[in-house]
Amino acid sequence: MQPLDSFGSEMPLTIGPFRILRPLGVGGMGTVYLGERMEQFSQRVAIKILHPHLFPDAADARLAREGSLLSALEHPCVVRMLDLDVTEQGLRYIVMDFVDGVRIDAYCDECQLPLRPRIQILVDVCEAVEHAHRHLVIHADLKPENILVTADGKPRLLDFGVATILSELGASSSAQSSPEQLPDEYTALYASPEQRSSERLTVASDIYSLGLIAQSVLAGVRPEPLPIGILHSGREAAPAPSPSKKLRHLDRDSQAAIATARTTTPAALAASIHGDLDAIVVKALRLDPSERFQTAQELRDELERHLLGYPILTRPANLATRLRKWVFRNRLAAALGCVFLLAVLFSIAGVVFQSMEAARNRQIAQTRLRDLVRLTDILAGELYDSVHGLQGSESAQAALLNSAHQTIDKLAQDDDHDVQLRLELAQEYEKLARLELSRTPLTVDAIHQSAQDIEKESGILKQMNPADPEVARLIARLPELIQSSNAAAKQQAR
């Protein structure tokens, strides 16, 4: 004897071109079987036989239009509808791709996924729902059982059996459809208030169901069962408690089990959900449909902003929140910035301590440098002239000039980029070059030294502002000095 289906009859052996292998489950819309194509090529499918009392007219044109819309849904996360037909007994059935997966909440818990990969799966689910809404189809039966996650971690959205046909009214995906009375068999746990009250359905109904699914997947909080068809008269009532608050109200064992399934602790889990995720879920679960996200894309974008570390739009972000999220997005830069900031603080502490002393030392150094320049001027000028004509004056002059060169070179090495001091150094090199060229007799060493002095003067002047009158005056005298040095070199070569 074959197992009985939900209609009290035996499980069929075949349906259309498919051989029935085994039942997969019974839902509010009908019984689902695993089928296999008998001809042409091997193909496994899920076949749902719709309850006859829901669709007594197998030739109902509305079902044909629905099937046409559903077959147009082409998305990696949406299970394709392959066919919509009638059995020999006159029962409507739908043929869909078979998905070998686990319901979304069970998959996340069995794999002990942390919050971030759970959010990514929810992002993919929202994208699939938005795809259906853009094709004028409301799912109207969103619950964990209808979202299966495959082994590769990708969710697959299935069972559009109670989808509302919006195109029949020529409306957009956010317009309202004709009222739909939910079947008694429908699971009301994840239904929106307007669905329970048999009111007109909009895409906001799916948003509410997505909020309940997100609450379950993220915080492990299941929705409470409510009677089907209950009329909610208090749409202005305060919003439902946030997921983190509901989580804290659970007993310790339940909190521990939920946190373990997310590889964290109860306190850390509640802290991670508190804030952005709380605000997103609470907005999706507003009693008034107009206060929810207007599209699944808006809900998806908010989840992605949180995932990427950007401020969400659902709640205002103060400066501290924006800074914290910037640090989250730029961890390496923030870490390097902290190290740099500490180094700067330590440096500032040392600089502040030494600033007064440094200023005093700088003034002393500048005064000392000018004194040394004047001393060199005297050494290579007045003393140089005073030994002229004396016996052994050539050696004395050479010694004085050599000492002057050593002094000026040392001052040039200690140059602290003071403009006036650089100008004085350039002037001193010019004086030394002219003194070398005035030596009698003029030696090869003197000519070579004068060329070096001219080169050093030129190097200093190149680093200074040519518009300065004193600098311009020295630059103007350089060609004549270079010419004298070159002429002396040529004369010596003869």
Q: For the domain that residue 110 is a member of, what is the CATH number? A: 1.10.510.10
Q: For residue 156, what pLDDT band results from cuts at 50, 70 and 90?
A: very high
> Which of 36, 30, 67 has the alpha carbon at shortest distance from 49?
30
pLDDT of residue 270: 95
CATH number for the domain that contains residue 28: 3.30.200.20
Q: Which residues pair with 33 in a beta bridge?
A: 23, 47
**What is the Cα–Cα distance from 216 to 258, expressed in whole angstroms?**
10
Number of neighbours of residue 146 by Cβ within 10 angstroms: 22
Phi, psi of 294 (to 5 degrees): -80, -20
Q: For residue 188, what pLDDT band results from cuts at 50, 70 and 90?
A: confident
Q: Is residue 404 part of a domain?
A: yes
* Claim to verify: residue 258 and residue 378 sit in the same structural domain: no
* Claim to verify: residue 324 and residue 431 sit in the same structural domain: no
Task: State the residue range of the domain holding 419.
Answer: 364-493
* Claim to verify: residue 287 and residue 425 sit in the same structural domain: no
Question: Tokens standing for 381?
Answer: 């000028």
What is the average per-residue pLDDT within 323-339? Answer: 69
Q: Is residue 218 part of a domain?
A: yes
| For residue 123, pLDDT beyond 90 | yes
From 105, 109, 124, 141, active-site residue: 141
* Claim to verify: residue 128 and residue 262 sit in the same structural domain: yes
- Known catalytic membership, residue 445: no
**What is the Cα–Cα distance from 465 to 462, expressed in whole angstroms?**
8
Q: Is residue 346 part of a domain?
A: no
Q: For residue 264, what pLDDT band results from cuts at 50, 70 and 90?
A: very high
pLDDT of residue 368: 56
Q: Which of 137-151, 192-206, 209-223, 309-323 has the lowest mean pLDDT?
A: 309-323
Q: For residue 3, what pLDDT band results from cuts at 50, 70 and 90?
A: very low
* Claim to verify: residue 88 and residue 116 sit in the same structural domain: no
Mean pLDDT of the chain: 79
* Claim to verify: residue 135 and residue 252 sit in the same structural domain: yes
Last residue of a domain, one of 39, 62, 97: 97
Dihedral sign, Cα of residue 436, residue 438, residue 440, residue 443:
positive
The pTM for the full model equals 0.62
What's the number of domains the chain is made of? 3
Phi, psi of 92 (to 5 degrees): -75, 140
| For residue 390, pLDDT beyond 50 | yes
User: Which residues lie closer than 8 Å to 68 by C-beta, 6 or more apart?
Assistant: none
pLDDT in tens, 73-85: 888 999 888 888 8
* Claim to verify: residue 60 and residue 39 sit in the same structural domain: yes
pLDDT of residue 263: 95
* Claim to verify: residue 108 and residue 145 sit in the same structural domain: yes
Residue bearing the bigger pLDDT, 482 or 64: 482
pLDDT of residue 341: 77
